[in-house]
Structure 1
Amino acid sequence: MIRYQFFPRSQGIIPKIKLVIDCFEKNHDKINSSEHNLSSNQVLEKLRYDLQKANYVVETGKSRDQKIQVPVLFGYNNNIDKSFNADALSEDGKIVVEVEAGRAVDNNQFLKDIFQACMMFDVDYLVIAVRNDYRGADDFMKVFIFLETLYISNRLILPLKGILLIGY
């Protein structure tokens, strides 16, 4: 089943983020990590149509022109000096979606996703999707505990309005 939790837990989910959850729920049988061993790109491919229908721009491949670049730094004449890539981005540029698979916890990819979203210009929300089952481990709960600790400790204040964690 699809699991999700929004952080901080003192706030609810906005409608544009609910659309992302709906995309995962609609495609659960195709991406269920307990039954399928899909890469993050394969999961994203199965979600592509529904995310696009929900007005998200979705990465189509690994070449530069197929990636979604979100500005980080601007230079002379407002030219983009630095950008980070996103798997999907809401049409207004406020919500970044990152779909992870095996590297989510083992390589701390979710931490890189958080850092990059915090650096992206005008981004308010991050959606991180991780496997519920990765080699018998529960990546969703591992990231959940990390985010819960981050928000409860209040020692690091993120510039994002919130993070949605999805387990697929």
Structure 2
Amino acid sequence: AKHEIAAGFCLFNNIAIATQKLVNEGKKVFILDIDGHHGDGTQNIFYQSNKVLYCSMHQEYAYPWTGKIDETGEGEGKGYTMNFPLPAGSGDNEFLSAVDIAIEIAKKFQPDVVGVSAGFDGYEKDSILGLNYSLNAYYECGYRLRQAFQNIFAVLEGGYHQDIKKCTESFIKGIRT
């Protein structure tokens, strides 16, 4: 969802609502969007902000057909948007490499809080997209975030396979380890 319209299966943009509240309190926020679809609404909302570092890792050439590498923000937000459009067929190695790069850049940003758009439609058994992330990849993502940052929250995004509970549990176990 964007400022003025519901879109992308979202009536409200939960990560953006929570993040804006934190920004209003004077906090800097790193949003890591691991949903297989690009978070065009979240990107749009914070595209001109230097208080939010937004990073999306999503399948390239998939709905909503946005999230190209050269979309990096504008105005005060120039350089505060990162997109990792991953080719269909990408698996754990590609996903976790992108996570590692995003974490290293986010460390330089020094966020007060990390928010995760935890979408699990990149799961290897999810037929909506062509990504191939294992349960272990979601665990590793959570674990790597926890090794780098202390204040983390997540909101559930996409995921259409019946194993979404397992995906969510794997990610949370990684954060709790």
Scaled to the shorter chain, the TM-score interval is 0.3 to 0.5
State the TM-score, normalized to the length of structure 2.
Answer: 0.35
Structure whose residues are more often strand by fraction: 1
Which of the pair has more CA radius of gyration? 1
| TM-score with structure 1 setting the length | 0.37
Q: With CA pairs under 8 Å and 6+ residues apart, which has the higher RCO, 1 or 2?
A: 1
